[in-house]
A and B are shown apart, each in its own frame.
Chain A
Amino acid sequence: MHALLWMIPAFPLASAAILAFFGKRISHRAAAFIGTASIGLSALVAIFMAAGFLRSTPDSHAWVQTLWTWMGVGDFRPEIAFYYDPVALIMTLVITFVGFLIHLYSVEYMRGDEGFSRFFAYMNLFVAAMLILVLANNLLVLYVGWEGVGLCSFLLLGVWYKDPANVRAANKAFLVTRIGDTAFAIGLFLLATHLGTLDIQELMRRATAQWPAGSGIAIAAAALLLGGAVGKSAQLPLQTWLPDAMAGPTPTSALIHAATMVTAGVYLIARTNVLFTLAPPVQFAVALIGGATMLMAAFSAIAQHDIKRVLAYSTMSQIGYMFMALGLGAWSAALFHFMTHAFFKALLFLAAGVVIQAMHHEQDMFRMGGLRFELPLAFWSFIIGGSALAGLPLITAGFFSKDLILWQAWAGPNGNGGFWIAGLLGAMLTSFYTYRLILLVFYGPEEREVSHRPGFCVIIPLVTLCALSIVGGYVDTPPDFGGAPIFSDFLGSVLPALKQFHVGPITELSTALCASASFAIGFGFAYILYAPWRPRTRREDPLLRLWHAGWGVDWLYDRLFVMPFQFLVHRTGSDVIDAIYTGIAKLADSAARALRVTQNGRVRWYATGIAAGFVVLFGIAIFVR
């Protein structure tokens, strides 16, 4: 069975190659078919594999397929190998399934676009790279996928490259994530030189054996890996690229900048959890970064006008929850939230795409309104996806996953009351900005007429994701609500199990009740401030403006890094070393000008030149010798 493992990433990769080489020669219909069917096939294989894995789980809880040895340098022999365990199983299922739905959606969303087959080629390449990332048995192969998804993110942001704003966003996303990637690469060098291997399982074994907990080297390695994760997952302090990344096509935002790629950092930390357990300060830093990003992004989301930017900040905030869970040692809670988040955030983005298309590519929420009768599908998608995001108690997936994180924020190995309160505050803000969005877009007076209604290819993904956003949570319910922790148990073979480490006044039930209360408070505030009958005026307020600009981090980085750099560039533009090289060029130029005079076209001049040259050479030969 596990011999088929390579096929999961191979289908999208092959399709990407076909579309890249023959994309111009085949029709849009064929390109759409190839692009979508390859992901569909890959999803089928993934389901097949998952079924087989569940039916006959091997004793080691993992299947390993070694394809070939990549290179052999002394003892360092990284292999191209895939590793399939419960974590990889969940990741592949989510990626292929959500990826398939988003591809299907893009068939309609991108219809008639100039770069149609190019778009599908990039999307397929992205899915292939992401699958390689999650299936890699080896940090080096993982890094290939890691860079691959970064590249595809860059390419997909630049699909509409004729608009300079998109190109700027693509460059920014690429450069900012590059900072993290560099840290990650240095981390890999450190691990490879100190432990002699990059095979993840072997690495974890050797790390536990050789490095005492809290040793400097373990802290350095974990911190460098964290740097990579922070860049890719848009956490503090490298979060600035994600809001700008909304310049890309909406399906791209849904697939890459919400459901899959940005959670690669979460996956990386969960995968190397042993290393982070060996470095408690770094693990605590993960929790702090997650918590801070979660709150900061939630405040920013409150002040946004652009529908996609609200969702972008909300994505940052939700990944902040995942990081917080990772930092608190609630590994499986983070992955659970990853899964439900992939469903409801993809749903929200796709529904936002429907709204944007219907509004002639208008993205300002204050210019929308009253769409609930015009676009009932998008409305219900937003209600379901938004409620899942906000954590509507008991019926939505988001409630269960967030509740697990909140409970672990108190009860987990590193939990304390501060994280618990921060989490609840975040939940309240989430509920507020979600319903603010829904009230602004779907209620109130109708602002303009609808130009485009969703077709078949859009309805299927939306309905499927709606269903998943509701039932996705029932795979792991807390003891007080049925109590079936299937998901955590399933991951228990790979990740340390969730236990109650802190017994105290806060219990599972009270957490759930407080989460429900913060949901209700957020909803109530949103309803009071943005009620349908209220006039829709943008509030101008220094604080709101600060939040709107994402706490001014962009401004700060501009001052701190970009402007000094440009100043240096400007100053060193004409320094001494440069002058030497320009001087050489100028000399050659003027010499050419001078010598050009001798090319006058008169034969006798040339003959004179030859004769004179001969005399000079002859003289040198006779007298100088």
Chain B
Amino acid sequence: MLYLAVSLFALGLIGLLTRRNLIFTLMCIEVMLNASGLAFVAGSYRWGRPDGQIMFLFILAMAAAEVSVGLALFLQFHRRAPELDSDSASRMRG
């Protein structure tokens, strides 16, 4: 199960680093978060303790908050730039 979590995390990281579209970036972050959540659950299952599952709940809540903030930012960003390209944000110097 940990191997699955690690491969998922690696997938997410590669996606984050290679894709430029912001929606994909967000999705990749979600994948990475869930991968780490999976690792927690796996640990919790292995040692038979509830801590990992509690931690997963926290991650879930954080991911929801992060997605909402992220989407709101993307909406704002989309009004300025025609496409959702993360590199075009480098024009926002200040």
Contact = CB atoms under 8 A, between A and B. Distances in A.
A490 B16 CA distance: 101
B25 A603 contact: yes
Contacts of A593: none
A602 B87 contact: yes
Interface stretch (A144-152, A232-240, A440-448, A604-612): A604-612
B13 A602 contact: no
Nearest to A601: B90
Interface in A586-616: 600-604, 607-608, 611
Contacts of B91: 601
A607 B17 CA distance: 7
A611 B87 CA distance: 18
B80 interface: no
B89 interface: yes
B93 A603 contact: no
B68 interface: no
B86 to A, nearest CB: 5
A603 B16 CA distance: 10
B70 to A, nearest CB: 12
Interface size, B (range): 10 to 19
B17 A611 contact: yes
Contacts of A608: 17
B49 interface: no
Contacts of B13: 611
A316 B54 CA distance: 93
Interface residues of A, number: 8
B92 A604 contact: no
Contacts of B92: 601
B78 interface: no
A469 B70 CA distance: 92
Interface string A56-77: 0000000000000000000000
B90 A607 contact: no
A608 B14 CA distance: 10
B86 A602 contact: yes
Contact of A600 (B17, B20, B90): B90
B16 A604 contact: yes
A604 B93 contact: no
A600 B87 CA distance: 10
Interface in B48-94: 86-87, 89-93
A603 B92 CA distance: 12
Nearest to A607: B16
A593 B86 CA distance: 25
Contacts of A603: 25, 86-87, 89
Q: Name the residue among B25, B87, B89, B92 with the largest chain A CB count within 10 angstroms.
A: B87
Contacts of A611: 13, 17
Interface string A560-604: 000000000000000000000000000000000000000011111
A607 B25 CA distance: 11
A414 B89 CA distance: 94
A607 B89 CA distance: 14
Contacts of B16: 604, 607
25 contacts: A600-B90, A601-B89, A601-B90, A601-B91, A601-B92, A601-B93, A602-B86, A602-B87, A602-B89, A602-B90, A603-B25, A603-B86, A603-B87, A603-B89, A604-B16, A604-B17, A604-B20, A604-B25, A604-B86, A604-B87, A607-B16, A607-B17, A608-B17, A611-B13, A611-B17
Interface of A: 600-604, 607-608, 611
Interface of B: 13, 16-17, 20, 25, 86-87, 89-93
10 smallest CB-CB distances across A and B, nearest first, come from A601-B90, A603-B86, A602-B90, A602-B87, A607-B16, A608-B17, A604-B17, A611-B13, A604-B86, A607-B17
